[in-house]
Amino acid sequence: MNRTLNVVSFLTFASALSVRAVDPVIPQIATDLGVTPTTAAMLAAGFAAYGLAQPLLGPVADALGKARVMIACLALLAAVSFLSALATSFSQLLVLRILTGVACGGSFPIGMAMISDLVPVAQRQVAIGRLLAGTISGNLLGAAAAGVVADAIHWRGTFVLLGVITLAALVLSILGLRHVPATERHPLHIGAVARRYREILRIHNARICYATVALEGFFLFGIFPYVAVLLLAGGEPRASIAGLVVAAFAVGGMVYSLSVRQLLNWFGQKRVMMVGGGLVALGLLVVAFGPSWLVQALAFAVMGCGFYMLHASIQVYVTEFAPATRSSAVAFHTFSFFVGGGLSPIVYGLGIETLGPAATLTIAAVAMAIVGVVSAQLLVKPKI
């Protein structure tokens, strides 16, 4: 199990490098491809394909095997990374970003389902914390390296680097996932898949979990594509600085992943969720008033820790309420999250243009605090 966890953690790391890599270079992409920064920020909405593909990817993994789907998605990710470096128009890059989202969608959600097949529920939040460390460090390095590469070379160089790393991960996946134990295969035809999702949605915890993660994505993740834009408006033009601010969110996530066992001992799972929502709210309130980039980086680190305190707790519930079809249950969780996250940049853009950054982020902060408290009260604790 430890060997498989280490392999899957690296695969999710390699895939996660692509998730936030575009955020710090939105102004450069906008200038190069002749669009406004607000239009270029829609690349983040295109990445919502990560979640929109989940209702298909989950059942396919339950039918064909989790390892096979992960390997196929890594091959697709490598191809579209290299093609993104060659894009000559915004529409081309947007299509490739959508395909990137689909490819990344076959990494962490399926990896989490795979690990949950091997780890008892009593130990699962710690194991998921280790898996998150790979994903979060990918987000961290992807954002930071993208800004540095863009300043030193060009934003296109970022995609070349991502392609090379993904190729290495593809080779490792072929070698390292050969001996993962097979699980029961489930039918893939439309009627069986629809029936499976209906059964999952009848479960009380499933409805609460899916609603919670959709609200998380909606109220929080729209801020990321506007980090560089807001810093530029405040007089900070460097993409590397925007990358560091975005990467600080992942630093906070690493703090969570390294301290999850202690946090559970201190607070218990439900209080971890409520404190997490409160920390996200605090970070959003700080960023709302446009302090220096160092203060914003600290606020993003606080948000990152708080987000994963809430989100990873939800993930434990998700991996347990439908163990026989775990890939499908986890996939719909990711789908719900990215539906919220896909709408979020659009709503944030409208809010920033009409209400201003301070009001928009304050509303989001209040909402996140409420989400943390209410979801913790409504969920029924799984038996461990």
| Mean pLDDT lowest among 2-6, 347-351, 361-365 | 2-6
Q: Where are the domains of the chain?
A: 2-177+187-378
Task: Report the percent of the chain where pLDDT is more than 90.
Answer: 30
Q: What angle do CA 231, 236, 241 make, to 5 degrees?
A: 80
| pLDDT given at position 187 | 66
| pLDDT given at position 219 | 94
Chain-centre distance of CA 95, in angstroms? 19
Give the pLDDT band (50/70/90) at residue 47.
confident
| pLDDT given at position 125 | 73
Of the candidates 117, 322, 116, the one whose C-alpha atom is nearest the C-alpha of residue 201 is 322
Give the pLDDT band (50/70/90) at residue 281.
very high
Give the pLDDT band (50/70/90) at residue 160.
very high
Of the candidates 46, 25, 29, the one whose C-alpha atom is nearest the C-alpha of residue 243 is 25
pLDDT of 214 higher than 50 = yes
Of the candidates 48, 69, 52, 71, the one whose C-alpha atom is nearest the C-alpha of residue 60 is 69
Fold of 2-177+187-378: Growth Hormone; Chain: A; (1.20.1250)
Q: What is the mean pLDDT of residues 191-218?
A: 89
Burial class (CB in 10 A: 0-12, 13-18, 19+), 157: middle
Instruction: Summarize pLDDT for 245-255 with one digit per residue, the tens.
Output: 888 888 898 88
Q: What is the mean pLDDT of residues 149-170?
A: 89
pLDDT of 121 higher than 80 = no
Q: What is the mean pLDDT of residues 132-153?
A: 79
Q: What is the mean pLDDT of residues 108-118?
A: 83
Chain-centre distance of CA 296, in angstroms? 20
pLDDT of 154 higher than 80 = yes
Instruction: Summarize pLDDT for 223-238 with one digit per residue, the tens.
Output: 888 888 888 877 887 8
Q: What is the mean pLDDT of residues 24-42?
A: 85
3-state secondary structure of 87: coil
Query: What integer best gives the mean pLDDT of the chain?
Result: 86
pLDDT of 384 higher than 60 = no
Q: Give the Cα separation of 294 and 182 in Å (integer).
A: 48
Q: Give the Cα separation of 153 and 289 in Å (integer).
A: 32
